[in-house]
Chain A
Amino acid sequence: MQQAEPILRMVDVRKTFSGFSAVAGVTFEVKRGSIHALIGPNGAGKTTLFNLATKFLKPSSGQIIFKGRDITALLPSAVARLGMVRSFQISAVFQTMTARENVRVALQTTRDDCFSFWRPQGVLNVLNDRADALLADVGLSDLRERKVTELAYGQRRALELATTLALDPELLLLDEPTAGMGREDVGRIAAMIRRVAQNRTVLMVEHNLSVVSDLSDRITVLARGEVLAEGSYAEVASDPAVKTAYMGTAHG
């Protein structure tokens, strides 16, 4: 069945930065419909792996397969158009625009007038309803006309999520979605992730282990650029190698 085919498969992927192996031959799969977490001590190569999967970095060797298609040679923008969309560790927004305009930029990808330098942007107003609905989903209805610079940190992260969801990605990659948030915001974002994951696949890098145990169906532990362990939260947590890795770097 189609269920058996993983949505994302990375095969022996390596990335070397001038002699240093940030990712040293990682093979792993993300099952369609799951919430999959990548954890590991700082410097384990989690974000590098994210950058490789979305092609923001070119792998030194190895193969990346998305929806059964080899995407190893594609541009990052082409990967996004195929349905794998990422967020960033530092909230990535368009700072001179309003919240609504931010979401509209994402919705514009569905239109065929992106290169129409003669068409007044008033025609984009037809996207306002969808943009507002997405903003309402992340609790930003009241702030939709505000400039992004007026938004608080947690609100910007929510806006980033709304912008990402505007593309309706099949595979959503979240890089530390709760980083730097207070407890209340963490709870809200976690609930939001659970909700949006109902009809898509989520791969996330996350340090907050309670969020990870709460949300994830499957967890891959990375250390020094290699897969250390993989399984459910309970399996991974009881793995002696994982314990050593975390203790060894005095983390968690």
Chain B
Amino acid sequence: MKMNFDKAGWIVLIVALLVAPWIFYPLLLVKILCYALFASAFNLLLGTCGLMSFGHAAFFGTAAYVAGHAAKVWGLPFEACLAVGVAAAAAVGAVFGYLSIRRQGIYFAMITLALAQLIYFLALQLPFTHAEDGLTSIPRGKVLGLFSLDDNIVLYYTTAVIFLAAFSFIYLVINSTFGQIVRAIRDNEMRAVSLGYDVNRYKLLAFTLSAAIAGLAGANKAIAFKLATLVDVHWTTSGNVILMTLLGGLGTLFGPVAGALVFVMLENYLADSGLPVQLVIGAIFILCILLFRRGVIGEIERLVLRRS
């Protein structure tokens, strides 16, 4: 039954990806997809591995700056910009992971937050990030050297393909032989150790994978919006991705996607309403936590599985 639920989820996702740009503004959808991927990367770490990072903006933002710099200053093609962004995020992720995974719970969260703040101050001080101004007017370039990404529809479908590929990769990791051991570590770390698993090495790999995918989301965002700024490395971005994940359903495959969708849509439509956006989102978040703890997708899944 769980199998069927996930299968239905995949079908809905793919159909939605195909038809969405004919209903909504493509750039809004690109933003949703970038954050959906970011949240899914975060969920890979928290949902599957049980590690609550409060510093994921560091990977998202690092990749945004590096990919932006690669496009603007080095003039690299689109795909290479994404690749260097991902590589930079993975490298930062491996270092941060190494420094933080030995601690648990709140200590782990605080260390990741502190390390992410380090990246924030670097972004403020380093010459190539242009401090308060950020990287602007990043050229989008062409996908595969053929199609100009300045066409919003091309940009959208390119982002959709990247998203779908990365999302499938996350699915693969969760359901891999490695994923099985990571889940065992999440369930009972001492027991996994007693069976002979060097748990820190598994956690480090999971952390690095999560950082790399968060980096892909950040690099894609920077090029799509021609912009990499301090907001991308700010702790509120780390907070928002936690919020999206919990809103959609922690540990569910599609939860983070639904969470990002709700979050970005709310932000977008509330921006014109004159209401204080953060306040309303905060209130909705509190309501969600009180009413459906499993998140949107988590609650739907429970209803569907119970009815059958």
Contacts and interface: CB of A to CB of B under 8 A. Distances in A.
Interface of A: 54, 56, 75-78, 80-81, 85-88, 92-97, 101, 104-106, 108-109, 111, 113-121, 123-124, 163, 167
Contact of A77 (B177, B187, B197, B209): B197
A117 B172 CA distance: 7
Given A88-B191, A119-B178, 13 more contacts: A54-B194, A56-B194, A77-B198, A77-B199, A80-B193, A92-B190, A105-B180, A105-B192, A114-B178, A114-B197, A116-B178, A121-B177, A167-B195
Contact of B172 (A54, A75, A111, A120): A120
B172 A92 contact: no
A118 B179 CA distance: 9
The secondary-structure label for the interface of chain B is helix
B195 A56 contact: no
Nearest to A104: B180
Given A88-B190, A96-B187, A120 B175 contact: yes
A124 B180 contact: yes
Given A114-B181, A116-B176, A88 B187 contact: no
A78 B194 CA distance: 9
A3 to B, nearest CB: 27
Contacts of B124: none
Interface string B199-218: 10110010001000000000
Contacts of B201: 115
B176 A119 contact: yes
Interface centre among A54, A96, A104, A121 (most CB of B within 10 A): A121
A214 to B, nearest CB: 26
A111 B177 CA distance: 10
B176 A77 contact: no
A244 B181 CA distance: 48
A111 B209 CA distance: 22
Contact of B195 (A95, A101, A106, A120): A106
A92 B187 CA distance: 10
Contacts of A109: 195-197
The 5 closest A-B pairs by CB, nearest first: A80-B196, A94-B187, A92-B191, A117-B178, A81-B196
A94 B172 CA distance: 21
Given A95-B187, A97-B184, A117 B173 contact: yes
A121 B188 contact: no
Interface in B153-193: 172-173, 175-181, 183-184, 187-188, 190-193
Contacts of A93: 187-188, 191
28 contacts: A56-B194, A75-B198, A80-B193, A81-B196, A88-B194, A93-B187, A96-B187, A101-B180, A105-B180, A105-B184, A105-B195, A109-B197, A114-B178, A115-B201, A115-B202, A116-B178, A117-B172, A117-B173, A117-B178, A117-B209, A118-B176, A119-B176, A119-B178, A121-B176, A121-B177, A121-B179, A123-B177, A163-B195
